[in-house]
A = this chain, B = another copy of it.
Amino acid sequence: MDAAEFRRRGKEMVDYMADYLENIEQRPVYPDVEPGYLRSLIPSEAPLEPDNYDDIIKDVERIIMPGVTHWHSPNFFAYFPSASSYPAMLADMLCGAIGCIGFSWAASPACTELETVMLDWLGKMLKLPEHFIAGTHGRGGGVIQAHSSVERASLIGGIMMRKVPTDNTYAVGGGMLKKMLEEDKAAGLIPFYFCATLGTTPSCAFDHITELGPICNEENMWMHIDAAYAGSAFICPEFRPLLNGVEFADSFNFNPHKWLLVNFDCSAMWVKKREDIIGAFKVEPLYLKHENQESGLVTDYRHWQIPLGRRFRSLKMWFVFRMYGLQGLQAHIRKQVALAKEFESLVRADKRFEICAEVVMGLVCFRLKGSNDLNQLLLKRITNSREIHLVPCQLSGLFVIRLAICSRSTDSCHIQHAWRHITQLSCELLQDNH
C-alpha cells in the first residue's frame, strides 16, 4: 500500500469511523458470542501473499464487530466511561503518522515537551498545588502513565499491603488509618506508603484526605491519591472541594482517558519532587544518552515509568483541550452528573428499589430490595437482553448493580429507556419468583 492508496483507504476509514459512531445505537451493546467464536471464522495461519483490502474491511463487519462490546454506545453503562472524542481521534492519527518514540528528550523533543506543558495545563485546570507544576523552575511535574492497581503493584514489589476498613460511606477516615499504623508499628512493620482514593470504583466514595494527609506527613509516609475516574470532575469549581487535602500528597493521578474526552490511554500522574521517581527506575545505557541531558534542563520520561517506549499521547490532550476549551469540558462533566441524578430520582421513586451509595458524580449504585440472588438474576437478565450493559459491585456484603454514565452521546432519552427496561425485567423477575 503506497501513499496514494492510503489517501483513498484512509478517507474511506474516516467515513467508516463516523458511520460506526453515528449509528452505534443500532448495534446490540453487548455481543452475542461464545468464547472461541472468532477462531473458527479466521484462517489458522497468516496468508503467504497479500490479501485484498476490500476483503479485510468486509471481515471487520463479519468477524470483528459481532464480538465487540460497544463502549461508546449510549446504552453502555458498565465499568466507568472510556473517553472518546473526534479531536482525540484526529490527534491519534497524527501521532500514528509521526510515529516517534519519546523515551528521551532527544528521541523527539516535541513529544516530551508537549507532554510536560499539557500536564501543567491540566494541573492548572484542577487547581493542583503549585509544587506539582513543572513550569520552568518547578521540582515537580506530570507524566502520562499506563494505569494499574495498587494491589497489583504490591504483588509485584513483594510488599505487604493492608486495606484500611472504610466507614459507612465506604470511605477511609483518619481514625482508622491511625489505628492500623499503631498496630503495624507494634508488630515491627514499617508503614511507608498510603494510597487514598477519590471516587472508588465500586461506589465512587471519597476518602477523607484532609484527615489522612497530615497523618501520612507526620509518619513520613509517601501519600498517593488516586482519583482515576472522579479526577476529571475537579475541573468544575463545585467539585474541586473534594480534592482539598491534595496539598499533603506526594503524588496524584487520574485518568483523562476515563472522563475527560481524551481517548485511551492517557493516565495523568503528578509528583511533588520528580527526583524521587527518576531515581527509582533509572537505567542508562550509552545508546540512550544524549548531550542535552547533562544540562539538567531536559526531561527524559523513560526514567519516570516502567516501559521504555512512549507514544506521542500528549497530542490528544492538546487537541481536546483546545477544541473543547475548559468550559466545554466542564459542560460535559456537568451533563453526565445531571444524567446520573436523573437516574437516581427514577430509582428513588420506585419503592421496590434502593439506592446503595450517595450519588456524587456519574455513578448510581442501586438494587432491588431483597436477596443477592434476586439481584444477580436481574443483572443476568439485563446482560442477556443486550439492550443495555451494566456490571455489579459488592457493598457491605450486598450484591449491587452499578449504572455509570459512560458514552459522550448518552442523553436523557437513554436514561429513561434504561430505567423502563430495568423495571420491565424486574416486574417479570418478581412475577417469576412469586
Contacts and interface: CB of A to CB of B under 8 A. Distances in A.
A148 to B, nearest CB: 5
A193 interface: no
Interface stretch (A50-58, A212-220, A236-244, A336-344): A50-58
Contacts of A402: 287
A121 B35 contact: no
Interface of A: 1-7, 9-11, 13-18, 20-22, 31, 33, 35-39, 42, 44-51, 53, 56, 60, 63-72, 79, 82-90, 92-94, 96-101, 105-111, 113-114, 116-117, 120-122, 124-125, 136, 146-149, 151-152, 155-158, 201-202, 257, 263-265, 280-281, 283, 285-288, 291-292, 295, 297-298, 306-309, 311, 315, 318-319, 321-328, 380, 391-394, 402
The quantity of this chain's copies bound in the complex is 2
Contacts of A60: 94
Contacts of A394: 286
A56 B114 CA distance: 14
A46 B265 contact: no
A21 B2 CA distance: 10
25 contacts: A1-B87, A3-B18, A7-B14, A7-B15, A9-B90, A11-B11, A17-B97, A31-B109, A35-B105, A35-B109, A35-B297, A35-B298, A36-B136, A46-B321, A50-B328, A56-B319, A67-B108, A68-B98, A68-B111, A93-B96, A146-B309, A152-B281, A152-B306, A157-B157, A265-B309
B325 A287 contact: no
B283 A152 contact: yes
Nearest to A145: B307
Given A10-B93, A50-B325, A79-B107, 9 more contacts: A1-B85, A1-B86, A13-B94, A14-B14, A20-B97, A38-B113, A47-B321, A64-B114, A148-B308
A286 to B, nearest CB: 5
Given A21-B97, A287-B402, A322-B47, A110 B146 contact: no
Contacts of A288: 391
Contact of A110 (B38, B116, B391): B38
A122 B44 CA distance: 11
Contacts of A64: 98, 110, 114, 315
Given A37-B113, A109-B31, A51 B99 contact: no
Contacts of A319: 56
A302 B21 CA distance: 26
B121 A323 contact: no
Contacts of A66: 110
A413 B360 CA distance: 63
Nearest to A17: B97
A107 B29 CA distance: 11
Contact of A100 (B9, B18, B82, B117): B82
B113 A309 contact: no
Contacts of A114: 38, 42, 64
Nearest to A228: B308
Contacts of A97: 16-17, 20-21, 89
